[in-house]
Every structure is written in structure tokens, then in C-alpha cells.
Chain A
Amino acid sequence: MELSRLLRHGDRALILAQRLLEQITHAPEIEEDMALANLALDLLGQARVLYTLAGEVEGGGHDEDHFAYWRDAAEFTNPVLVEQPNTDFAHVIVRQYLHDEFALAFWQAAGWDVAAKAVKETTYHRRHSRAWLVRLGDGTPESHRRAQAALDTLWPYVDELFAGADQLRPAWDVAVAATLAEATLAVPQMLPAEPIHEHLESILAELQVTARAHPGATW
């Protein structure tokens, strides 16, 4: 297992979890609050596993907390897609679905012992985000407009999601095209965006502030 790959996917799971946790008390209904928090908790668990493995591979005595709390933005290598802002519920769902379809293929192909649990979790994540995306796209004119807008905003970050995992792209394209057709949404034709970690600083500020203010604290 390569260190850079473990860290990229640990960062992917951690940053997406943090974005989802920002949604608590902001989801359209209390049931969805709970659903998004569940996704975030699963992702947090996946990040912990990957960071722990990263520590073992690196051999520098670093634990999961080191990778989550004590690295700066410049050291994070998450796909830019997962740090995109929540903006509205459509953005949350579109980001999640584009991610989940990737993450499921990633875990299925990973061939790691720790992947079996993540495959089960991610299968459910995709089921949830896919169900919502179809309902938003094929819902009211307003929900359709917002879902298409979110898709157009987030699509330019899809290419970079596959950095180092190009072989997963063809199956993803097929699966996503089928979902978008069911959701009556158009596949965007946008060009890839520069993968700049524009939002990482502010996400990490909130994620790391407590750990850094009280180093080594336990509860």
C-alpha cells in the first residue's frame, strides 16, 4: 500500500465527513440530518483506518490524529470535489453522489482487508445519494433547476477525482449517465477546473482548532 494513496483517500473521507457534519441541523428534515450524520460517521471511520495504515506504512510513529489534526492545508491531498461548499441541499447530494459512485468502485478495487466494511457502508451511501438525486432532478421545477446547477458547478472537479485511478472512470461514466438520465438531468459539458484547494484552509481551521488548542487532550 502506497503512503500517498492511503493519505489521499484518508483525506478524501475526512474532508467530506467534515463538510457533511456542517449540515447537521441544516438538512431539510430531521430524518435527513440523521442520514447525513450517519454518512459522515462512516467516512470518519474510513479515514481513521486509512490514516492508521498510513502511519504503519510511513513508519514514523504517526497515528491517525497526527494526520487529521497536525498537518497543514498544503499537506492535504484530498480530491478537490469533496471540499466544495454545501451551498444548498442539491449541492450536498450531487457532491455526495458523484463521490459515492467513485468511492464504491475504489473500495471494491482496493483489495485491502479493511475494504470489506467500507464496501458495505459505501453501497448504502450511494443508494441514499442516488435516491435523492433522482428525486431532486425528477422532482419539482425548482428542485430540478437546483440539481442541474449543482451538477454544472461540481462537474469540473470530476476529472481530478480520478487522479491515479483512471481505470475506474469508464464504469463510473456509465453508472452516472444512467442515474442522470433517470433524474432527467443533462450530463454537463464543462471543462475540468484547476484543482486548487480553495476551501481547505477554512475547513481545517474548524476541524483542527480544538485539537491544536488542547494538544493531547482526551475525554
Chain B
Amino acid sequence: MWEVFVRAKRGVSHVHTGTVHAPDAELALQHARDLFTRRSEGVSVWVVRSTDITASNPDDRESLFDPALDKTFRHPTDFELPDEVANM
């Protein structure tokens, strides 16, 4: 199993779009191309072996993420975003 990340256009990050079966990296890349860029969604594709991903445990959710809830000063909500800035 391989995790697929597609960059939709230059300047934005690769985003996880799905998973493919493949015997190795080269064919995983080809399958990813066939499955996830069929409608010209991308300019770049990454594949990563699923077993190489270390994921957080759902049981740790409270200790990992809840402490950020009351720290509103971390949100840049007081800034005006100029119209020219895309992809934020």
C-alpha cells in the first residue's frame, strides 16, 4: 500500500489524495498518476509507503490537540488578507 500526495499547481503543497496498491514505488507512481490525475489535477505526485507513516493515536487526541483550543492569540485573525494573496 502506498499513500498518494498530489500537488495541484506550482506554489501549493502536496495534499494527500488517496491510497494505491502497487508492488513497488515506480508502479505506485504510475497507478497514482492514472487514478488521481485523470482530470489534470496535478503537476507533481509523491508516493510514500504506507508503513513508513507514523500516525498519532486517536486516544491521545485530548492531550495532543485540546491545549491549543484556548490560545486564540495563535490565530492571525486580526490581519487583513490582501486580495492578491492566493492559496492561504
The interface stretch among B5-13, B15-23, B60-68, B76-84 is B15-23
Per-residue 0/1 for A125-145: is the Cβ within 8 Å of any B Cβ (1 yes, 0 no)?
001100110010000000000
Contact A30 B21 (CB under 8 A): yes
Tell whether B31 is near chain A: CB-to-CB under 8 Å: yes
Q: What residues of chain B lie closer than 8 Å to A176, measured between beta carbons?
A: none
Contact A29 B21 (CB under 8 A): yes
Tell whether A77 is near chain B: CB-to-CB under 8 Å: no
Contact A31 B22 (CB under 8 A): yes
Tell whether B52 is near chain A: CB-to-CB under 8 Å: no
Tell whether B34 is near chain A: CB-to-CB under 8 Å: yes
Q: List which B1-52 residues lie within 8 A (CB) of chain A.
A: 20-24, 26-27, 30-31, 33-35, 38
A interface SS class = helix
Q: What residues of chain A lie closer than 8 Å to B30, measured between beta carbons?
A: 35, 127-128, 131
User: Contacts A131-B26, A132-B27, A135-B27 hold; do A34 and B34 have CB atoms under 8 A apart?
Assistant: yes
How far in angstroms is the closest Cβ of chain B from A36?
A: 9
Q: What residues of chain B lie closer than 8 Å to A127, measured between beta carbons?
A: 30
Tell whether A38 is near chain B: CB-to-CB under 8 Å: yes
How far in angstroms is the closest Cβ of chain A from B80?
A: 44
Closest to B30 in A: A128
Q: What residues of chain A lie closer than 8 Å to B27, measured between beta carbons?
A: 131-132, 135
How far is B8's CA from A48's CA once the two chains are assembled, in angstroms?
A: 30
Contact B31 A34 (CB under 8 A): yes
Q: What residues of chain B lie closer than 8 Å to A135, measured between beta carbons?
A: 23-24, 27
Q: What residues of chain A lie closer than 8 Å to B33, measured between beta carbons?
A: 124
Q: What residues of chain B lie closer than 8 Å to A38, measured between beta carbons?
A: 34, 38
Contact A34 B24 (CB under 8 A): no
